[in-house]
Amino acid sequence: MGKETHSSGKRALLHTMVAQQVVLVFIYLTLFYDFAVPINALDISRLLQNRIALKKRQEDSSRCEPYEPFRCPSGSDICISIQYLCDGARDCPDGYDEDPRLCTAAKRPPVDETANFLQSLLGNHGPNYLEKLFGSKARDALAPLGGVQNVAIALSESQTIEDFGKALHLMRTDLEHLRSVFSAVENGDLSMLKSLGIKDSELGDVKFFLEKLVNTGFMD
């Protein structure tokens, strides 16, 4: 009888201890769920915010200041003033700020403006019209010369008419004809343009465009 009472007491004590441990585990898990998860979520949020802030700082540091807006190419972090472009002194490591094509294009009409001008002539006179200006390779809307955009870029970047001819591989006879057109415009003779079929309403725009090229050294 005494042994049974003693065994029952031990079992009761064991059950009580197990129950207490279960309660403690439950409390621990509850506290962990209530506090640890929000803390982890908060940490992740802060981490994302820090990364965004770091990226923004990196972007800001790679941006040139308004007073030095031109960034030298080829992965350089050097920014220079606009006034230092084409001033005869190399400021970029690779000398790009003195590149002849860059310096020529800076004085010429924008490429998109030139392309629109050529396209308007083709639209008004047909796809083969510019043969009268650039020669036989200028048929089919300038396709043999690489298209309107390619010709516009060559007009923008080529320092002289000779450079233009080389860039587009023009025949010598076609290049000399183009030179005669520019010479006529340079001398104020519009009869050459009229002989090419330029309408009176177009003469002013065509003359203005060709003069822009002449005045920036195209005939030198």
Q: Residue 201: what pLDDT?
A: 84
Helices (DSSP H) in the chain: which residue ranges?
2-31, 37-61, 100-107, 111-125, 131-134, 139-142, 148-157, 161-168, 172-186, 191-195, 200-215
Q: Do 93 and 168 share a domain, yes or no?
A: no
Q: Residue 5: what pLDDT?
A: 47
Domain assignment present for 178:
yes
**Per-residue model confidence as pLDDT tens digits over 174-220:** 999 999 999 988 888 888 888 888 888 888 888 888 999 999 999 98
Domain assignment present for 125:
yes
Supply 126's token pair: 């047909």
Q: Do 182 and 211 share a domain, yes or no?
A: yes
Q: Which residue has the higher pLDDT, 34 or 43?
A: 43
Q: What is the pTM of this model?
A: 0.67
Domain assignment present for 158:
yes
Q: Do 75 and 150 share a domain, yes or no?
A: no
pLDDT of residue 115 exceeding 70, the answer is yes
**Which residues on neighbouring strands pair with residue 80, listed in sequence order?**
70
Of the chain, the percentage scoring pLDDT greater than 90 comes to 49
How far is it, in rounded angstroms, from Cα 191 to Cα 198?
A: 10
Q: Do 148 and 74 share a domain, yes or no?
A: no
Q: Are strands 79-80 and 70-71 parallel, antiparallel or unpaired?
A: antiparallel
Sign of CA dihedral 122, 125, 130, 135: positive
Structural domain including 62 reads 56-105
Total domains present in the chain:
2
Backbone conformation region of residue 215, classed left if phi is above 0, alpha if psi is from -120 to 50, else beta: alpha
Q: Residue 141: what pLDDT?
A: 95
Domain assignment present for 101:
yes
**Per-residue model confidence as pLDDT tens digits over 121-176:** 999 889 999 998 898 899 999 999 999 999 999 999 999 999 999 999 999 999 99
Q: Looking at residue 79, which CATH number applies to its domain? A: 4.10.400.10
Q: Do 206 and 127 share a domain, yes or no?
A: yes
Supply 21's token pair: 């441990």
Amino acid at 55: K
Across the chain, mean pLDDT equals 80
Domain assignment present for 23:
no
